[in-house]
Amino acid sequence: MDYCLKGGFVVDPVTQRQGKLDVLIRDGRIAAVGPELDPAGAEVFPVAGLHILPGLVDMHVHLREPGREDEETIATGLAAAAAGGFTAVAAMPNTDPALDNPALIAFVLAQAERVGGVRLCAVGCLTKGQRGEEMAELGELVRGGAVAFSNDGVPLPNAEILRLAMEYSKIFGLPILLHAQDAHIGREGVMHEGRWSTVLGLPGIPALAEEVAVARDLLLAAATGAAVHIQHVSTAGAVAMIRQAKEQGIKVTAEATPHHLILTDAAVAAYDTNTKVNPPLRSEADRAALREGLTDGTIDVIASDHAPHTLEEKHREFALAPDGMVGLETSLGLVLTELVRPGLLSLDEMVMKMAVNPRRILGLPEGSLTPGLPADLTVVDLERTWRVDPGLFRSKAKNTPFAGRELVGKAVATFVGGRLVHRE
């Protein structure tokens, strides 16, 4: 079906087009953007008072299929993504079995195709079985459809394997997404090492665990010339090193999550296992550094690190509960409420970090409302007030520390390839 979005306010930082404009969608692509367009047979979709953005992309999600369909499936994860305003997601390879061969890549892509709706980009496993001992067949993963490589969630203690993987990744022009964490420093920790870990009597993970790994990975990137992306940056020291690396011309990009940008380790005070994440929620000084890195361009992307778990898994004592929280359905609202409305980020900057930059890093089509491009777009009501209710999530999982929080700003329609995949 063709649509003409009428009366909305377009925000497109790539073309620098901004204002009250209509968007015409024909045959799954953007046909025209301009004032008072003639629908010419397209269904009129009224969006007066709403903002039309290039489709959001979450480049760090866990969909659990295959292997842990009790936590999430591709179908429920993509439904959650659509409801959150995302038109594409990058699925991490830490499934069971791990996405370390082209058959498994083909499986998740076929599942997503069957489900329809939000686009799924598969990230191939950097090492066989995610064990960190032997490099996966990267070329085969690319032929199977992988858009990037990662050993997501499992640190790589063997720097030689990572060095070789970086060399190989250059052949294919694909980035390596790095969970930068030393495998041994603070390995028994369950939260940030600091004042609150002492008060709560919980073993801590020092900032050093991340910073040692970031330093090593940046040195390897400099030596190989490979493109690397540091996932879920959480410490001030890591932000400083990434900033310096960019100034030196090293091919590095970085992401931060809404929860690291909004919460601190003080949130763990109630022993709520939904605040248990890896890397852990850090100190106020770390959060301030992350926000500074976000505004000065050191941090390129905001990504959710959507990590679903069952109620039973999270309802355990803090030290035994798994790490992670869901984020696909709350990320946009949290960012709009906590970062855009207070003026820490402009709407243009938010679009760059949640739509444009993820696409550029993953090599996807440009994130803009340019005629001829696929009609992937997100319609947002910046004034919509709503309360986070996990009971209404499309995701199978409900593990969020933001339950009950009032947010302002919500995706009210999501189009993927010209198809309406979500509407409030």
Has this prediction a pTM greater than 0.75?
yes
Structure tokens at 181: 């964490």
Closest CA to 257 of 80, 121, 60: 60
Structure tokens at 294: 């976000």
Task: List, in sequence order, every beta strand (DSSP E) within 75-220.
Answer: 86-91, 119-125, 148-150, 176-178, 191-192, 204-205
What angle (nearest 5°) sits at the alpha carbon of residue 398, between those of residues 347 and 407? 30
Residue 402 neighbours by CB under 8 Å, 6+ apart: 330, 334, 388
pLDDT per residue of the chain (424 residues) written in tens, 0 to 9: 999 999 999 999 999 999 999 999 999 999 999 999 999 999 999 999 999 999 999 999 999 999 999 999 999 999 999 999 999 999 999 999 999 999 999 999 999 999 999 999 999 999 999 999 999 999 999 999 999 999 998 989 999 999 999 999 999 999 999 999 999 999 999 999 999 999 999 999 999 999 999 999 999 999 999 999 999 999 999 999 999 999 999 999 999 999 999 999 999 999 999 999 999 999 999 999 999 999 999 999 999 999 999 999 999 999 999 999 999 999 999 999 999 999 999 999 999 999 999 999 999 999 999 999 999 999 999 999 999 999 999 999 999 999 999 999 999 999 999 999 999 9
| Strand, helix or coil for residue 255 | strand
Full DSSP string of 75-93: HHHHHHHHHTTEEEEEE-S
Structure tokens at 22: 């209509």
22 is catalytic: no
With beta carbons less than 8 A apart as the criterion, state whether 95 and 64 touch: yes
> Of 182, 305, 376, 381, which residue is the catalytic one?
305
- Residue labelled with tokens 């980009």: 121
Task: State the greatest distance between any 2 C-alpha atoms of the chain, in Å, as a whole number.
Answer: 67
Tell me the residue type at 110. A
- Residues linked to residue 4 through DSSP beta bridges, in sequence order: 24, 44
Full DSSP string of 11-76: EETTTTEEEE-EEEEETTEEEEEETT---TTSEEEE-TT-EEEEPEEEEEE---TTT-TTT--HHH
| Strand, helix or coil for residue 421 | strand
Strands 406-416 and 419-423: antiparallel
Rounded distance between C-alpha atoms, residue 249 and residue 239, angstroms: 16
Residue 97 CB: number of other CB atoms within 10 A?
Answer: 13
Structure tokens at 49: 């008072």
Rounded distance between C-alpha atoms, residue 227 and residue 235, angstroms: 21
Strands 3-6 and 43-46: parallel
Closest CA to 228 of 251, 244, 246: 251
Residue 206 neighbours by CB under 8 Å, 6+ apart: 185, 186, 189, 192, 193
Query: Domains of the chain by range and CATH?
Result: 3-51+373-423 (2.30.40.10), 55-362 (3.20.20.140)
